């Protein structure tokens, strides 16, 4: 019986995987990878490693989670090092809990290796801090998606900076609900698509424009994206943040 490593592949770029993640991937006998994992990242795995695509993409045919669980367990019963490579971080919107439960039920050892999630990578790409003194002291990572049969979550997130995963098709609803909850229509919104890859694109607009549907024609349905909402994503001049370098030098 082998050991399973749930590894965060990071936001996209192959060289944003952690050193530990890359080292374990290089020792893998089997790699079960998400659709969001860049092909170049699979080059870290040895040539003899079996690569199994178990991707889930909105609007496309995808592998059922129960079957993914079974594939992971079956692989661990036959191989020494099994890597479950998940986009971003395994513990955020990655259904890792279901896979860990399946491994625990089968008595298989596993380890979770964290990865850089899209919210952090997008903030770095935008050069906008998720937290900003005097502007944003709280951050919420949320999703508008919900499991079939589950109750819709109607409560609004009250954090200063909001990052919505899997919100591409729900931007209008998200924006309208935030406006209805009291958010200013002028609140800055940034949409980051395919973060950290050569396909990365950024759209800057307001909450009012997002509610109006202005992003519909811009978004590429084949690419992952995050919605980043809050005053922290305003242009730096609007944030009133500046440094008087001449004054510092004079002092």
CA distance 21 to 10: 10
Long-range CB contact pairs, 198-203, < 8 A, 24+: 199/223, 200/12, 200/125, 202/125, 202/126
**Which candidate in 3, 56, 160, 214 is catalytic?**
56
User: Catalytic site residue 34?
Assistant: yes
CA distance 109 to 184: 49
User: Catalytic site residue 3?
Assistant: no
List CB contacts of 53: < 8 A, sequence separation 6 or more.
33, 35, 63
Which residue's entry shows tokens 């661990």?
A: 76
**Which candidate in 15, 29, 34, 214 is catalytic?**
34
Report, as residue numbers or ranges, the catalytic residues. Answer: 34, 56
């Amino acid at each position: 019986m082998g050991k399973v490593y749930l590894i965060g592949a990071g936001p996209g770029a192959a060289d944003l995987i952690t050193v530990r993640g890359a080292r374990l991937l290089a020792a893998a006998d089997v790699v079960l990878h998400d659709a969001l994992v860049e092909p170049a990242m699979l080059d870290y795995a040895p040539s003899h490693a079996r690569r199994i695509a178990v991707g889930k993409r909105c609007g496309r045919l995808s592998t059922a989670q129960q079957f993914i669980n079974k594939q992971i367990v079956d692989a661990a019963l036959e191989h020494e090092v099994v890597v479950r490579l998940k986009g971003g971080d395994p513990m955020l919107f990655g259904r890792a809990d279901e896979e860990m439960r399946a491994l625990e039920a089968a008595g298989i050892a596993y380890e979770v290796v964290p990865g850089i999630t899209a919210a952090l990578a997008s903030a770095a790409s935008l050069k906008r801090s998720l937290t900003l003194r005097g502007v944003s002291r709280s951050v919420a990572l949320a999703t508008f998606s919900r499991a079939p049969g589950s109750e819709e979550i109607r409560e609004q997130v009250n954090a200063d900076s909001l990052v919505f995963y899997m919100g591409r098709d729900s931007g209008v609803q998200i924006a309208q609900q935030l406006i209805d909850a009291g958010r200013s229509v002028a609140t800055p919104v940034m949409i980051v698509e395919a973060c950290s890859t050569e396909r990365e694109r950024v759209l800057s607009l307001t909450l009012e424009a997002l509610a109006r549907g202005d992003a519909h024609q811009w978004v590429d349905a084949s690419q992952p994206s995050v919605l980043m909402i809050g005053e922290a994503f305003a242009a730096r001049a609007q944030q009133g943040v500046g440094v008087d370098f001449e004054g510092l030098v004079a002092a």
